[in-house]
Amino acid sequence: MASPGPRRMPRRQSAAVYRRRRLVVGALLLVVLVGLWWAGSAIFALLVDEDPHDPTAQQEDDTEGGSGSESDSDEGSDEGAASEEDSDADSEEDSDAGSDADTDDVPEGHCAPGDIRVTADTDDAEYSAAVAPLLILTVQNVGDEDCTLDVGTAEQEFTVSHAGREVFTTTECGGEADSYELTMEPGQQERAQLSWPRSDSSASCTEPVELEPGAYELTVSLGGITSEPHRFTLK
C-alpha cells in the first residue's frame, strides 16, 4: 500500500483580493438600496397628489381665493354704481315731473314761476331816526315770451326783520287788497312801493315805535315768489 504523498496547503488570498470583494459587495448593496428608495418614492407620489407643504401649491390656492374676492368686490362696485345711476335717474325724473306739474298748473298765457324774478330794495341804505324807509318790490319777466301776471296788492307781501325777529309784515295789516293782471314783455320790470312808518305790525301797522338801531332785512314776495333779503340800517 502506497503511503500518501504530502498534502498541498491551500493558497492564501492576498489582502488586495479581499478588499476588492468587499468593494463589489458594497456597490451591489448600494444599488439595491437606491432601487428600493426610488420605487418607494414613485409609489408615494402616486398615492399623494399634492404636498401640503409645497409653497407653490399654497400660493396657487391663495391666488385663486384672491381672484374670487376681487371678482366679488368688482361685482359689488358695479352694483353700487348701477344703484347710484338709478337713483340719479329717478331724481331727474322727479325733478322733471315737478317742473312739468308747475307748468301745467299755470293757465295758458300766464307767467310761470321760472319766468319771474322778484327783488327787494329800499330807497336808501341808512335812515336816521326821523325818516320812514321806502320799501320797494321789483318784478321782472326773465322769460322769452310775453306772459300775464297778477301784480295787485293782494299778491304783494313786505316783511321787515331784525336780529332774526319779524318786526313788520303786511300780512298782519288790514286794508284793501286788489288784483291787477298785467301782461309783461320779456325783460319788462314793474315796481311797487310802501312807506314803512317804522311800526311794529304785531301792535300797529301805522303807529311808529322806538326801534333798536342796527341792521334790518327786507324780504318781499309776489304771488308766492320770494326775493332774497335786502339789508339796510336804522339809526
Residue pLDDT, tens place only, 92-109: 555 554 545 455 688 999
Nearest in space to 199 (alpha carbons), one of 170, 171, 168: 168
Average pLDDT, the chain: 77
130-174 per-position pLDDT tens digit: 899 999 999 999 999 999 999 999 999 999 999 999 999 999 986
Q: pLDDT band at residue 87, thresholds of 50, 70 and 90?
A: low
68 pLDDT more than 90: no
Query: CB within 8 A of 179, min separation 6: which ones?
Result: 150, 152, 154, 155
pLDDT of residue 124: 98
CB 217 within 8 Å of CB 227 = no
pTM for the whole thing? 0.58
Q: Which pLDDT value is given to residue 28?
A: 64
C-alpha 41/C-alpha 213 separation (Å) is 104
Classify 28 in phi/psi space as left (phi over 0), alpha (psi -120 to 50) or beta.
alpha
The cell numbers describing 17, all together, are 483580493
